[in-house]
Structure 1
Amino acid sequence: MPRQTPQPSTPAPTTALRQRLAELRGPAVPPHPLDARALAALAANPGCERRALLDGAGVDKAALAAALGSPSAFGQSQFAFVRGNAFEAKVKADGGTELLRLWCERTGCEPPAADDLSLPELSAAGPEGRAARTALALREATAAGGWSLLNHPMLALEVAGSPAYLEPDAVVVQPDGRWTVVEIKSFPMIDDSADAAKVGAAARQAAVYVLALQRVAERLPGAEVNHSVLLVCPKDFSNLPTASLVDVRKQLSVTRRQLARLTRVEDIAAALPDGTTFDLERPADELTAAVESVDAAYAPDCLAACELAFHCRERARAAGAVQALGRGVRGELGGLTTIGAVLAAAESDADAPTGSPAGRPAGETDPTVAALRRAAALRAEALEAAACR
């Protein structure tokens, strides 16, 4: 595997930006910490300025959604949490030998003997101490040139000037100096394949860990981070673990680009009206106006990833925005951005050419409008035929 080129670090925000972000969340409010799930959700919807600004400022979106009158049910159920913990304990039993067996089975290497596997102690005071202890363990394991398994290491990644502390399930260090992120999920892998949406979400989350791990590897000669992660899931309908290698280079690129964009949230903040704040002590109408002053890119997928999704959905429906129907529908409709405009185009005179919202020359019918007219005509024919039977 070729050695990776170190990625340039994103610039640290200025003092003025940090003060502006503090004003946005409330001067006395500490920044809400970001985790891997939140960073992965950012990468999944990079066009949402609202989420970028709120996460960059460290606003507690769950508390904000409750203050707006649209509390979120976002989160993992207690049953799923317990089941996931039980499965992870099974995968890591016997000192990680089962996990290493799965890794070697997928990569074709010889599994190490139990005595040849190092299990570093990573406990320390606070997330900063744990992140420092993890970096030291990675350095020692790479220098030793043996097998090592880091259980729940702590990684630090700077996001908009504030450290985000991330905790992958495990990291495998190989004798050749390669580091691999292990992601353990409780959804099933049936016939060596799993639900594509769940795998995609896991890949985006793992890409955040890979990015943070790369920041550590850049400072260690001979270290290399694998761009494929080991995804471990229950096999078929049993509780037996199976694994698959998932290439996260695409997700890694999107995540890196989105996090770099977060360091420039001053561009979004500068466009806000004077006095805008998301301080939860402000009245609900002021909070609503502040939130609405930042553009959102709502899609039904947000319901599974963002605490403000119910608020944004309500606003999108009230405005008749086609994005409430999904990104696929939004993309097909081109410049027609509201349901009213779509219905008007479909019901317009089929003999009258219609210019597109993008400025199509007069007299030329927009292909989207033509398709809508055709669909409306076919529907009318089908209803007429059904009424005659």
Structure 2
Amino acid sequence: MRQRLAELRGPAVAPHPLDARALAALAANPGCRRRALLDGAGVDKAALAKALGSPAPFGQSQFAFMRGNAFEAKVKADGGTELTRLVAERLGVAAPAPGEVLVPDLSAAGPEGRTARTALALREATEAGAWALLDHPLLALEVAGSPAYLEPDAVVVRPDGRWTVVEIKSFPMIDGSADAAKVGAAARQAAVYVLALERVAVRTEGAEVDHRVLLVCPKDFSNLPTASVVDVRKQLSVTRRQLARLTRIEDIADALPEGTTFDVEQCSGAQLTAAVEAVAAAYAPECLAACELAFHCRGRARTDGAVEALGRGVRGELGGLTTVGAVLAAARGESGDPADPTVAALRRAARLRAEALAEATAREAAREEATGELAAAAGVAFGGVPSGGSPSGGAASGGLSGGEG
């Protein structure tokens, strides 16, 4: 299977890592086989979108990236003293003494080696009953039959054996609260880490993964760290259920035509387009904020007149009517079963719309007629006549003028 995935992305192309942000977006749209295959094969979707002529105009700026790294380094400085203090303070436990926190070395060869070293460090800290800070541990999670390697900002192990995921973000927390959309995205991302940690905890005696994660952000408009506890049980449940619904990657790959590849270095734009279109997508407007291929998929959906371009809610209401043309034909009574509730609702809506437009047209005509009558009356009152006549006394004036001439 690994050889097959390597052929899909290109034999000489290194796999693009699947991070928690991408995995959370994939879990939010489990019906998209296109994204599942591309992410599982390690295809760089940003490069693919650019080659297709629909680059994604989003991403983190270099300045924001550097600012985030600087803030994270500040939070973890001095052996994680400030970070563990925030953990203890927000979770209501006794803080460790200075120098009491273990910071194990997690370096190893390759992702498999780093994953194994992380699991060993978690087990050793739990058995020792000590505070430990794991800086950028590596966790493994199986996604659609393929392993994904995830790297949280930090995991803190407490003496009672509980493991807490720490997410460090550079957006501010003003007066104790942060932007709700950004917090929600961080919670979905952290839920993926919690899910991967649970796989390790079941093999570690006395370990328990906390469903509360610690979100660390700059306080107000300063660079001082502050923290908030976020309960991710809801996001965890949704992520677990959605990932279980993903079709296995080998099943998607086996259905592709022979020789299909997404190698942007070796294929022309037409070949890449054909390869991408060979895999079914499940586009929704929400994809625009989470997937690099969203603009390409949106263009295709609009060209095909697919109702998915209008949103999942609209798509769900329309049942078997999958195109805008079919919806309009059903509303006009040109097709569709009148007994179908969806068709009946569309025709009723079309009838109400026609009645409303007719009333609006009648009101506009009446208003124009009244305006014309008012203008005519005003012209008479001030010595004029309606349009098409001659000015009052115009003939006499003309004659007098001629006589004088």
Q: TM-score range by the shorter chain?
A: 0.7 to 0.9
Question: Based on CA coordinates, which of the two structures has the bigger radius of gyration?
Answer: 2
Q: In structure 1, what is the equivalent of residue 206 of structure 2?
A: 222
Report the CA distance between 1:275 and its aligned residue: 4.0
Alpha-carbon spacing, 1:270–1:130, altered in 2? closer, same or farther (3 Å):
closer
Calculate percent identity across the aligned residue pairs: 78
**Residue deviations 1:143-202, cap 9 Å, x none?**
111222222222233445654332211111111101010011122334443333222221
The structure-2 alpha-carbon separation of the partners of 1:386 and 1:203, relative to structure 1 and needing over 3 Å to count, comes to farther
Greater RCO (Cα-Cα under 8 Å, separation 6 or more): 1
Contact 1:334–1:368 under 8 Å retained in 2: no
Aligned length: 366
Q: Which moved more, 1:205-214 or 1:154-163?
A: 154-163
Map of 1:6 onto structure 2 = none
The aligned counterpart of 1:239 is 223
Following the alignment from structure 1 to structure 2, what is the Cα–Cα distance between the partners of residues 303 and 191? 31
Look up the SS of the partner of 2:99 in the other structure: helix
Q: Which amino acid aligns with 2:224?
A: L
- Residue identity in the other structure for 1:305: A
RMSD: 3.1
What residue in structure 2 maps to residue 366 of structure 1?
A: 344
Q: Among residues 13, 21, 25, which one is paired with 1:41 in the alignment? A: 25
Post-superposition Cα deviations, 1:112-166, rounded to whole Å, max 9, x if no partner, equal 2223322223334444443333222211210111222222222233445654332
Give the AA of the match of 1:234: P
Q: In structure 1, what is the Cα distance between the partners aligned to 2:317 and 2:220?
A: 37
* Cα drift, residue 219 of structure 1: 1.8
Distance 2:64 2:321 in 1: 41
Query: For the residues of structure 1 that align with 2:58 and 2:165, how far apart are their CA atoms?
Result: 26
- Letter of the structure 1 residue corresponding to residue 61 of structure 2: S
8 Å contact kept, 1:151–1:169 = yes
Give the alignment partner of residue 272 of structure 2, picking from 266, 269, 287. Answer: 287
Whether 1:212 aligns to 2:196 is yes
Any stretches of 5+ residues in structure 2 without a counterpart?
369-405
- Map Cα deviations across residues 236-266 of structure 1 (whole Å, 9 max, x no partner): 4443333222222333334334444557223
Could you tell me which amino acid in structure 2 is paired with residue 101 of structure 1?
A: R
Q: 8 Å contact 2:30–2:246 — kept in the other structure? A: no
Q: 1:297 aligns with which of 268, 282, 288?
A: 282
Equivalent AA in structure 2 for residue 287 of structure 1: L
Could you say which residue in structure 2 is the equivalent of 1:109?
A: 93
2:28–2:242 CA contact under 8 A, matched in 1: no
Is the contact between residue 43 and residue 204 of structure 1 (CA under 8 Å) also seen in structure 2?
Answer: no
Task: Quote the offset at 1:294 in angstroms.
Answer: 1.5
* Pairwise CA distance, 1:322: 2.8
Deviation for aligned residue 1:383: 6.7
Amino acid paired to 2:344: D
Match of 1:123 among 84, 91, 107: 107
1:339-383 deviations in whole A, cap 9, x for unaligned? 34444555x37xx99637xx727xx95335534553564466457
Give the structure 1 partner of residue 61 of structure 2: 77
1:14 matched to which residue of 2? none
TM (norm. structure 2) is 0.79
Does the 8 Å contact 2:33/2:247 carry over to 1? no
Q: Corresponding residue for 2:294?
A: 309
Normalized per residue, which structure has more helix?
A: 2
User: Is the CA contact (8 Å cut-off) linking 2:145 and 2:248 kept in structure 1?
Assistant: no
Question: Which deviates more, 147-156 or 190-199?
Answer: 190-199
- Secondary structure of residue in 1 paired with 2:184: helix
1:1-389 to 2 correspondence within 5 Å?
17-159=1-143, 162-261=146-245, 264-280=248-264, 281-344=266-329, 348=332, 355=337, 360=340, 366-371=344-349, 373-374=351-352, 377-378=355-356, 381=359, 385=363, 388=367
Report SS of the residue matched to 2:156. strand
With the length of structure 1 as denominator, give the TM-score of the two structures.
0.82
What are the ranges of 5 or more consecutive residues in structure 1 without an aligned counterpart?
A: 1-16
Asked if structure 2 preserves the Cα contact closer than 8 Å seen for 1:62 and 1:308, the reply is yes
C-alpha contact (below 8 Å) 1:232/1:243 kept by paired residues: yes
For residues 300 and 356 of structure 2, what CA distance do their matches in structure 1 show? 32
Amino acid paired to 1:170 = A
